[in-house]
Structure 1
């Protein structure tokens, strides 16, 4: 990875300030502020970006909107006429500035055409202007394979970006399936739970907990049964396969309980530390409530 010495941090902060505030800033051009070595882990990428992100926030203030894509951050600072975007992928982190009205309208059009400019967005009423054009729809994944892929991507994105953007906060959601309505599965990322940050829990009280049932649940991917009759699996963020493993468990369990299509599944009670509104267009299933009017 590139180093993050004081000079590099200062340069990133200078760039952020100039892109957001200077009249002669070069708009719609991404500037690389950090490069990652090939095959770096999400934890390595997160910690490499941390000092630069903190330097930028110290210079220009907290973001207007937090968020991430399937492959990188999606953090925005909204000026009166300009948006500064921190983006990137597994290879690099980028800063770019955009004319606000054109940016939000183009992003709305991308959503409307079926693409995902971001996987999740957290609105904590940060400083800055509201430029409207927020997409109100939601596109669930097309089939189980895509649902599993989207779930894995959003879990990995939370692990890589939430501890940096919202230090200490957990993220969680609940899943219900229409053919098994009322049975709750809880999925979460909890950075305070060292070495078991990813977690899924399923209410299994409708079944007698026999040795045969235990073998069946473990074959599905569940690790153990708690005192309330719920099965759980906990995985460490340091395991690069953990998000995909948890996503596969979620889909396998839903299908084993009779769910035929991912369109029968709804995510609800979606929260990040019970603070702000967390929107998850990239979660892979339907959501409740949908994002409200915002024009």
Structure 2
């Protein structure tokens, strides 16, 4: 993939057809701070608490044509300091990072939705993320909100650079897996479109004797698919059982069962419940036996990590 500032660009900037030079050049405090932390951080900067910004993260993505040129937008910030090395997000909102050979600048969201900005040396970032993923794995339970302790649920590295993929905290039971999938899909519903635009995001789960797919489309909804391992719509009794379980129908051309849900928190919960119900109906005994064999976001390439899925990544699969 050829990595440029146009490879992955915030939706508000593209939505209104703004070129890079339409953004105002009088930089706001956020861009000034980020530029200094990226290019001239002091030793104190690398150890101080994150700088809290009196702004909700949604202000990074203004929704009108005039606001699309706002100096407060992520588009303006990117013009000032360049495209991020990593886009991602968690329970609270987006997590956006710029990497240098020595340190990382992080723009993320604290509890309540407010933005914060920080700079950390690379060893400190890796140690912090590793600890939070490890601690999060120990503290996970059936409640979806427990994944709020993870630094991020998903991340896209457009150029495949940055810290190595974190260890995925595996779901130890079905309630925990359902909570993990609900939280991941819910996060995509919340901020995927704002960060990435109209690209679809999805992943494929392999249970050893078949596959299920979950996708979130900013242009449409949440979609779940299951292969035809358990039969087709030609078997009337089986069709009734599948519909009762939550599937909406069978697509003969694709030979997959499918179901669609609103791109909302309630839709994410319903989609996660259907995935778990189908896996259990197929005789899968332990969610730790599942493997994530594919994860994709759009067609621009890059590497997509899903540590919030609760499912182990198949070592033989390229997750991209």
If the length of structure 2 is used for normalisation, what is the TM-score? Answer: 0.73
Instruction: Describe the superposition over 1:255-292 as per-residue Cα deviations: whole angstroms up to 9, x where unpaired.
Output: 11111111121121211124111111110112223799
**Alignment of structure 1 residues 210-221 onto 2, 5 Å:** 210-221=235-246
User: Greater CA deviation, 72-81 or 110-119?
Assistant: 110-119
**Alignment of structure 1 residues 209-248 onto 2, 5 Å:** 209=233, 210-228=235-253, 229-237=255-263, 239-248=264-273
**Alignment of structure 1 residues 1-295 onto 2, 5 Å:** 10-24=28-42, 26-27=45-46, 28-33=48-53, 35-36=55-56, 46=58, 48-51=59-62, 52-88=73-109, 89-113=111-135, 115=137, 116-125=150-159, 130=162, 132=163, 134-135=164-165, 137-178=167-208, 181=209, 183-193=210-220, 197-204=221-228, 206-209=230-233, 210-228=235-253, 229-237=255-263, 239-274=264-299, 275-289=301-315
Q: In structure 2, do the counterparts of structure 1 residues 90 and 186 end up closer, same or farther at CA, with 3 Å as the change threshold? A: farther
Contact kept in structure 1, 2:168 and 2:310, CA below 8 Å: no
Q: In structure 2, do the counterparts of structure 1 residues 30 and 256 end up closer, same or farther at CA, with 3 Å as the change threshold? A: same
CA-CA distance at 1:173 after TM superposition: 1.2
Q: Gaps spanning 5+ residues in structure 1: where?
A: 1-5, 37-44
Contact kept in structure 1, 2:294 and 2:317, CA below 8 Å: no
The list of structure 1 runs, each at least 4 consecutive aligned residues, that deviate by more than 4 angstroms after superposition, is 112-115
The SS at the match of 2:258 is strand
Cα root mean square deviation, aligned: 2.9
Q: Distance in 1 between matches of 2:232 and 2:201?
A: 31
CA-CA distance at 1:135 after TM superposition: 4.9
